[in-house]
Structure 1
Amino acid sequence: MSRPAPSAPTVQVRLSKADTHVSGPPAQRASSSSTATRSTIPTPATRTGAQAGPLARQARDPLLDLLRAVGTVAVVIAHWLMPQVAWDGSEMSVVNVLGSGPGWVVTWLIQVIPLMFFVAGAATFGQVRRRPAPWSQFMGVRLRRLVPPVAVFAGTWLVLRAALPALGVPEGAVEVAATIAPQLLWYLGIYVVLLAASHGLLAWYAKTGVVGVAAIGAAALGVDALRFGADVPHVGLANLFLVWAFAYTLGFAYADGRLSWSSRACAALAAAGLVGLVVAVTVGPYPLSMVGMPGDTFSNMGPPTLCLVALTLVQVFGAVALRGPLVALAQTPWVAHAVAWLSARSMTVYLWHLTAMFVVIGLMTVGAHVDLPEGWTSSWWLTRPAWFAACLVVLLVLVRVFERVEQLGQRRPRPVVALAAA
């Protein structure tokens, strides 16, 4: 049963030497400002005792850390499953394995972007509630955390694009890799937009609560109704913000304790999302795949459609319904160790996992003249363990090289926070 909506008083805090870290999806762990300041922003009322939401009770939520780690691994697995590559000596042919056979089923499992933005929203809510800051300060500390790894990644690929052909690597192979590698950055672009809108979204949430979150989701459904029902195609671009903002603000509600409904109620909402998704792809105009695939009339991701809204319900409320068992799993020693290791390097893993795959592809196809097998065949299945192992070894080397860039901002003293005098 949901709790009554809290009031939205103004909370004043004084920050000094602030640098707290709350993990998020790749590039979503950020610190507060290092400059002493006094800021005023609307936040939900502070709760105590049993009424406090998960992030009010503790600086880190094991469920969020686990979901972030699972999401990062799912993104890596998804991309490593995709390539079917052939090299004829001058041109490289790349086919997406998930675009054929049962690949669409896999996309329902590994399309975790809604879950990642949910975790990002919960992390942002917890940080801002504990240590409010002006918009410029809020954005500044997050961009300082985000920009160095991205700049190193982009700079490295610019150098590789120019240097590899000069070193004898075929131009066609380099062109394919250099075209695909930067496509990862779209996610970070949307994340920066959501960060920039966070103060406005927090103010909206403080006024409207869960009803306001539902309104964002309803607006995304309305956009699709105009796009497909009234044939207004360009209106769909609004969902580049609305769909992801729905997942992001659901994170606010979770961190605020507003999703502390019974497991049965959360499971029912997840089931409703799944039913909606099935209806959308069977009765509606939507393709089966939850990622863009060649041959589809349009992509459920570009811009995102109501299928991603339904998938958000499945993932978020499914996770919340299983919160107890998932938290117990996250707190087992080996899982906690793995999650901690990945959380400290999630941005590095995200940025460089495709590069690791390209190295393996290059060594196999261009170097050894062995094409990657056709998807879903017996040879494809038999080679998957060796394929994943090879990609993982190269990725671990790249992480070892580049993790220092991500971790530069993680070794600062924790902030001293005190309530400002009334």
Structure 2
Amino acid sequence: MRRLRDLADRTPAGRERYVDLLRALAITMVAIGHWGVTVIGRDAAGRPTGHSALGDLRWAYPLTWVAQVMPIFFLVGGYANAASLTRLRARGGDAASWLLDRSARLVRPTSTLLLVLTAAAAAARLRGVDDTQVREVFWFATIPLWFLVAYLAVVVLTPPMYALHRRFGLAVPLVLVALVGLGDLGRLTGPEELSYGNYLFGWLAIHQLGFAWHDTRAAPPAAGPTPPPSAESDAAGPSAPDHPGLRRRRLPTSRRAGLVFLAGGLAALLLLTGPGPWPVAMLHVPGERLDNASPPSLALLAVATAQLGLVLLLRGPAGRLLRRTGPWQLVIGVNLVVLTIFLWHLTAAILLIGLLDATGTLPTPAAGSGAWWAWRVPWLLLLTVVLAVLVAIFGPVEARSGRHRTRRTGPGGTTARAALTVAGYIAVVVALLINSATPERAPEPLGTPVPALLAYLAGAGVLRLLRSGWGTRG
């Protein structure tokens, strides 16, 4: 508590605290959403299994327009990345230093998760657990890595995409939306390969809107104490002004603009999911041919537009709330471990299911039944306790990462270091992508393909060496 009070006291006056609140709320809603729709059953051998209840709760599909909060996460990520990049450049840093700082915050907690899960998988294999069972548990625990792949990709592309933003402004997300529309056409009429780019274009479009939002608050760096190390450290603080000669249309952020975004997004969403071809649900529904989030569709971008409107409408009341010490300390506390919460929340479910099954107290009511609904409250409370234990154990890795700053390069080392930084990031992204794309029941004795694990360790190792100052003398 003393550290939270200290961080709250050192918060600069110009910090956009609302960004931190949105990030904390988004990740909290992801965890609660995944937990809330979980249905536990048993397979033919009597082992516990799990699946989503959405296939049995069609009436709940419109609720996913609010529950699908990944657009919010990418929106605030764009804001935070633009702010941290401009602040670092104002202090004389370069894009490679910025990427390395981001890797400390993003890759370290991810490495912890993968190493712990791999060790657990190896131990289970040594005890005679079938390889497909090992992979099935590992796959479920690493579902959050699917979205982390997309976020890491937009992070490594932030320097060039921010340069495009400074040159063309809101034209960039409009072009990306058009590319998503082309991908949607390919998914509906063929060839389906046209839609593969949507995994990147969709999230990039929302990320670019975060850049535009940051523009509306851009100001010269404020002198004074360092901002608290929340999810992006100094990312949400004030930043350097745009170049005086730069001209582009800024994102409107008035209450009227919020209403327009909300109404326009909802209208487009109703057209795309009513007479249009896209499903109403914005989350994965077992058995559905199309998925709005995998890859992102125009319907998901319509949800993102409506959510942007809602974000703008709630900005004033939220800002007043966050000027109070108590709520702001709570937001800081969540942001210190926000990635840990995201990465470990499904592992918490696995541990609780295993514990209840081992003690013979695991309920398996049918989805939508009275017993299933009654079980939601104790289920969520127990999961919160388990996750709190995991965060207490592994959260310090993330919290310490937020205080990391990369050592400056020496003369002649910039180009090579930048190339190695990008290569390290690419290795990490490709490794996580391979893991997510590997079938759920593939026979993997370590839970994940060995080439993916080796590629990840190589990429993360290179980034770690570069952060420590290795290779900075040319």
1:242 is displaced (CA, Å) by: 1.1
Q: Is the 1:287–1:297 Cα contact (8 Å) retained in structure 2?
A: no
Unaligned runs of 5+ in 2: 1-11, 217-249, 409-474
Structure (1 or 2) with the greater strand fraction: 1
- Measured in 2, the distance between the counterparts of 1:196 and 1:174 equals 32
Contact 1:153-1:351 at 8 Å conserved across structures: yes
Quote the residue 1:211 is aligned against: 171
Judged with a 3 Å threshold, the aligned counterparts in structure 2 of structure 1 residues 213 and 171 are, in CA distance, closer, same or farther, namely closer
* Aligned residue number for residue 250 of structure 1: 209
- Structure 1 residues 59 and 354, CA gap change in structure 2 (3 angstroms): farther
Alpha carbons of structure 1 residues 130 and 344: separation in structure 2 relative to 1, 3 Å: same
Q: Distance in 2 between matches of 1:255 and 1:396?
A: 33
Q: C-alpha displacement at 1:287, in angstroms? A: 1.6
Secondary structure class of the residue paired with 2:39: strand
Give the secondary-structure state (helix, strand or coil) at the position aligned to 1:319. Answer: helix
Corresponding residue SS for 1:86: strand
Indicate the SS of the match to 1:84. strand
Tell me how far apart the structure 1 counterparts of residues 162 and 300 of structure 2 sit (CA, whole Å). 22
Q: 1:169 to 1:103 in 2, by over 3 A?
A: farther
Deviates further, 219-228 or 188-197:
219-228
Once the two structures are TM-superposed, the CA of residue 344 in structure 1 deviates from its matched residue by: 0.4
Query: How many matched pairs?
Result: 359
Residue 74 of structure 2 corresponds to residue 74 of structure 1: no
What is the rounded CA distance, in whole Å, between the counterparts of 1:90 and 1:166 in structure 2?
A: 22
Check the 8 A contact 2:101/2:405 in 1, yes or no. no
Partner Cα distance (2:191, 2:130) in 1? 44
Deviations 1:81-129 (A, max 9, x none): 1221123654433231122213423322211111100000000111122
Match of 2:419 in 1: none
Aligned to 1:27: none
Checking the alignment, whether the CA contact within 8 Å between 2:344 and 2:390 is kept in structure 1 is yes
Partner of 2:309: 317
TM-score by length of 1: 0.79
Task: Report the counterpart of residue 24 of structure 1 in structure 2.
Answer: none
Cα deviation per residue 1:130-170 (whole Å; 9 max; x = unaligned)? Answer: 22243322222211332221111001111111224656989
1: CA distance, partners of 2:344 / 2:179: 35
What is the CA deviation profile of residues 320-378 of structure 1, one whole-angstrom value per residue up to 9, with x for unaligned ones?
12211121233333322221110001011111111111111112234315333222221
Name the amino acid aligned to 2:122.
A
Q: Per the alignment, do residues 197 and 58 of structure 1 end up closer, same or farther by CA in structure 2, a change over 3 Å counting?
A: farther
- 1:92 pairs, out of 48, 51, 55, with 48
Q: Deviations over 1:20-40 (max 9, x none)?
A: xxxxxxxxxxxxxxxxxxxxx
Query: Within 1, Cα distance between the matches of 2:350 and 2:76?
Result: 29
Residue of structure 2 equivalent to 1:115: 72
Q: Tell me, which stretches of 5 or more residues in structure 1 are unaligned? A: 1-56, 417-422
Return closer, same or farther for 1:179/1:270 CA change in 2, 3 Å cut-off: same
Pick from 111, 130, 140: which aligns with 2:87? Answer: 130
Which AA in structure 2 matches 1:225? Answer: L
2:368 counterpart SS class: coil
Residue 396 of structure 2: aligned partner: 404
Q: Distance in 2 between matches of 1:364 and 1:136?
A: 47
- TM-score, scaled relative to structure 2: 0.71
Match of 2:379 among 383, 387, 398: 387
Contact 2:35 2:349 in 1 (8 A): yes
The Cα shift of 1:58 comes to: 5.5
- Contact 2:254/2:312 (<8 A) preserved: no
Instruction: Please name the residue that 1:293 is paired with.
Output: 285
Q: 1:207 to 1:388 in 2, by over 3 A?
A: same
- Within a 5 Å distance, the mapping from 1:95-244 to structure 2 comes to 95-101=51-57, 102-132=59-89, 133-164=93-124, 175-228=135-188, 230-244=189-203
1:39 corresponding residue in structure 2: none
Q: Is the 8 A contact 2:353 2:362 kept in 1?
A: no
Superposition deviation, residue 415 in structure 1: 11
Q: 1:83 aligns with which of 16, 25, 38?
A: 38
1:273 aligns with 2:232: no
Matched letter for residue 218 of structure 1 = A
Q: Which amino acid aligns with 1:348?
A: T
Q: Give the distance between the partners of 1:218 and 1:329, measured in 2 at CA.
A: 38
Letter in 1 for 2:256: R
Q: Distance in 2 between matches of 1:188 and 1:152?
A: 14
Distance 2:274 2:321 in 1: 36
Does the 8 A contact of 1:90 with 1:170 survive in 2? no
Percent of aligned pairs with the same residue? 29
Task: Give the deviation of 1:213 after TM superposition.
Answer: 2.7
What SS is found at the alignment partner of 2:251?
coil
Task: Measure, in 2, the Cα distance between the counterparts of 1:383 and 1:147.
Answer: 35
Q: Any idea what SS the aligned residue of 1:94 has?
A: strand
Q: Cα RMSD over matched residues?
A: 2.5
How far, CA to CA, are the matches of 1:231 and 1:413 in structure 2? 47
Kindly provide the CA deviation profile for residues 3-33 of structure 1, in whole angstroms up to 9, marking residues without a partner as x: xxxxxxxxxxxxxxxxxxxxxxxxxxxxxxx
Q: Contact 1:92–1:173 (CA<8 Å) still a contact in 2?
A: no
Aligned to 1:326: 318
| Counterparts of 1:112 and 1:151, CA distance in 2 | 24
Asked whether the 8 Å contact 1:97–1:103 carries over to 2, the reply is: no
Structure 2 partner of 1:44? none
Counterpart contact for 1:287–1:300, Cα < 8 Å: yes
Query: Aligned with 1:303: secondary structure?
Result: coil
Letter of the structure 2 residue corresponding to residue 77 of structure 1:
I
Per the alignment, residue 28 of structure 1 pairs with none
